[in-house]
Structure 1
């Protein structure tokens, strides 16, 4: 980057490559006194931008720290904050209601840079949770980034954007922001520009707001409006000494194929808590054609009775945010005792007279939380996935207690594991009974995880419908007979179940089929194992 560009970024508190004022807070969290350099009131003003939106964003990040949701531990956290600030107390009351406490804490942090810095240092001591800390850093980084473009220039842009409509606006925003920044839902081009103007520079040095204008110009009609947008972008690039970077982006867009809608993914994790029937619900949102860059959503506590409604709210938010997505996939990351939950039959529009199962609108699959958290099982998992995606003609399935002469028998999980390990081309396994508890299905599923099988299916009922395998193979044949289309086959089978009379629906295999579709190249759960080491298949 040229000296002029660097100077422009320093002026507004943002530097190329994603650096911002918050990095100073992280780097210097052990120092005493203020650490901001562009600083004083400028730093606090930057964090106040957004008003209640900033408070809400910071509260959502702070909720992920358990030490702030427990009255005893949050009192200790406030003591540490006061110690770091070299004062006897901090102006935050110990509300009994957690949300009230977090709102007041967030407000004080946004008003006081030193307190924000002291809070992070204290959380690093009490709760060194990588995911929660990264989320907090990301939220504050978004709030501390200041607009690069001066207000008069932005005002002149508004008239050019206000009456334009783009069907793929969300996709253009994500491309303009770059792969490392999450883009909130936007209502129109001007709103999109406002949101991206608060973000840090892209790796190529361009402010995301300026890059967005270039992307919009490539799709704008009529052509004279596109020319006006490019002229506006050229003028701002000259002021910031970023002309070469903007021309490079324009050249890429000129030769690029038209953007096609892409698939979006909502991954929902239900982490069992010590109290039976209670879960920690986390979610990750992914809609980025450039690669797998899931953004973590807020963490909430749910029960078996309230989980369905909480998932509905996540689905509603995804629909509003990803209205230009080709397809929204729902993936549930479940522990070993919850794999048989009927998550595909959980409903949306719960408050209407016609609540509908999720599987009628989305492909719904399950992922193994146990395997994701047991790293020693990942090598065979990756190897089989590579065969599944790279050499699909070699990929094959096995059916426990199937009609084929070489089908493995049930009741001997060690023999099943040996059979799977002996054939590296097996990528799909159909269980004889559902997992969960201490039944045969639980051991069959464990053998599948140990052997690295990425696709696993079963009937939720105690015994498998003899017609299930036939139905799945028929649907796969309709989808070109490719195991890669098994997800579509299950989706169609579930839809078939809802086209027949409700009295017969409960007997249709599509109502009860569960599919694990576990892609090791798309991780979200990176923690260690859930339990102690197993001592073999018979230890569970």
Structure 2
């Protein structure tokens, strides 16, 4: 089946579509032409049946046409005069039902949003807005959460930048104050820009739009309350693999391995019972399977561990040379299983947001040997000992219960002073949001440098409060877990 990786739709074609509905339809047709499934007449007939069933006014019957002309007739019938987006939305759903090609449908949804924007905005305004948003470097999910609180929408996976999010939000109903949600998003996007000239130009576009439609007052209210979006560590969509290790309860030599995989959708592997001595081999096999798929180049691998397993050498199970694709960039972190702060979840999140938003100065905290952790405000923690020891376990437990969301220690305790020196350097030289990736790079380098040697056995707990495990099925019979 053809995918959007093979579609070759050029940026120039999509940019041209901004200024021309004709080019927009051509881009849709070209997208569908690259589907091996839609080459077949039976598939095109199935596509038309879906549309006829779902649309009150179906597109013209293209049976007199053939091949690509048939697709052009279908697209034209859906795209023309589609002021509500109903027809092009039905087209994307029908294409997904017939082809199953989610990557192609993701691009088709973007074109569908653009088609609706043509019906909502004059062509000149739309082209000017596209020019302003073309180079905006923003975490669009953070901006959307800030702009549309307290009911922020889920941003679809095809919305990856300010332009695509703006097009999508044009579909949403106006707020009670009359301001369109996309305009609120643009206001918050503007104040999040670091370039003063770019910020001013976007605000000028917003004001001109509001003045032409009698929306100056709600725009002014939005502008006065808008501030830079709080910084988070994530930007959707992210490829994420969650490896959960559960002690067997009957035999301490065994664990239940549960693996969740998240990208466009959530998948779960079958649970298996694994001897602890075989965990490294089995986990590497699972990671090799998923990284062999057509995935993004950066993957977050989370190991969810209980206290009894927290000191396992999981970082070493993910070195790139041992995976199917040695070029895939893995960001490996440890999450604490069932250990949550004693304070409120909101307090934990506020602490986490403050931690990530810090400048890289004076932000680490050392845990003195033999003393409790004691969370300094908005500081990560470097443990004096690994949790394999009683003192290290007590330090870690107190840190987690107090909501310290980033904790590092040395598994082997071979040279405590050298580890602390290089751990402090790592905390100081990198933005904290990049710490998991940077630590993974250091540990996989194997270049014999003092830093690589000192941090070889470093473990990083990265307990992001906005990331949770999916809910498993409530009941599982014993025969659902197969021995391995």
How high is the TM-score relative to the length of structure 2?
A: 0.50
